[in-house]
Amino acid sequence: MVTDAVAALVERVRGSGRVVVFAEGAEPRIQQAARRLLDQELARPVLLGAPAALAAAAARAGVTLDGIALVDPATSARLPEYAELYRAGRPRTGAAVALRLAGKPLIHAALMVRAGAADAMVAGAVQPTPRVIEAGLLGIGLAAGIATPSSFFLMALPAPAGGGERLLVFADCAVNVDPGPALLADIAIASAASAARLLGQPPRVALLSFSTHGSTRHPAAARMAEALALVRARAPDLAIDGEIQADAALVPAIAQAKCRQPSPVAGQANVLVFPDLNAGNIAYKLVQHLAGGRAIGPFLQGFARPVSDLSRGASVDDIVTTTALTLLLAG
């Protein structure tokens, strides 16, 4: 199910002509999603795979591949170019090794994005998350100033009193288990960039804790305060606060009662950065299953160009929505 707020985001990419490359082109769900993306003018899909495998999969899925670009990574005319692109910055990698690696679908997809032949790559319906992240690191690289990739979920929440849905970014709920202050700062900055592209409003980032502005003295709370200092040094114009409790981050009346100092975020946060993977993963699932929220993602972030990781249980609808929103992240 796509909610009204998410449908409005998907609509923003319609007709843009942006190109998405699917590394797992012979997966039936990917082919069905590619057909829908093209027919609905949401994307220009590229499917990677050997021609015989792509054709056999399409026959099994009952999908016509007419109009969809098909590329065999092992024989692509651009393979030598991508191999040299892979070697850039890796002078110890031999030409033969680079050629072999560039012919692998995941890395080939990432190199297509790096070369500008695609606006984003989407994978993960078959391959595990670490392989998708590895391909993104090897083929695309990280955004300037970011040392570690992370993830976020876009949460669509039913608003009270029948108002419009509320969209929030939750991070990191899928990748980094126990981030220290420097990695939390990376997550906050990357999440703010993601929110700015998706939400259509300035990001307001809350570094969450069980403490608000020193109300409890504990190393876990101090870690979030240290992350705040790092973010303010790196991105002084970003609206961010922490450490702060979730209710103070989201509810204006509670923020007024709990916050000891003026805050550009308290009571109106739209990006929630959790202290660790335990908290983030538990929180998004509670919101999803107890509060009627819709969780879209996880999306990878922190890369120089958009990369998205699908759940291996993703439906065709999930793939279409995730792909459209990943293309929005391309700017």
Mean per-residue pLDDT of the chain: 94
Pairing of strands 150-157, 69-71: unpaired
What would the pLDDT profile of 62-109 be if each residue is shown by its tens digit? 999 999 999 999 999 999 999 999 999 788 899 999 999 999 999 999
Instruction: Report pLDDT for 261.
Output: 83
Flag whether pLDDT at 285 surpasses 70.
yes
DSSP structure string for 61-117: HT---TT-EEE-TTT-TTHHHHHHHHHTT-TTS-HHHHHHHHTSHHHHHHHHHHHTS
pLDDT band at 3 (very low <50, low <70, confident <90, very high): low
Q: Where along the chain do its domains lie?
A: 4-141+310-328, 150-294
Judge if 4-141+310-328 and 150-294 fold alike in CATH terms. Answer: yes
Whole-structure pTM value: 0.93
Flag whether pLDDT at 1 surpasses 60.
no
Instruction: Classify domain 4-141+310-328 by CATH number.
Output: 3.40.50.10950
Cα 124 from Cα 323, distance rounded (Å): 12
Q: Candidates 1.10.10.10, 3.40.640.10, 3.40.50.10750, 3.40.50.10880; correct CATH number of 150-294?
A: 3.40.50.10750
Cα 109 from Cα 247, distance rounded (Å): 41
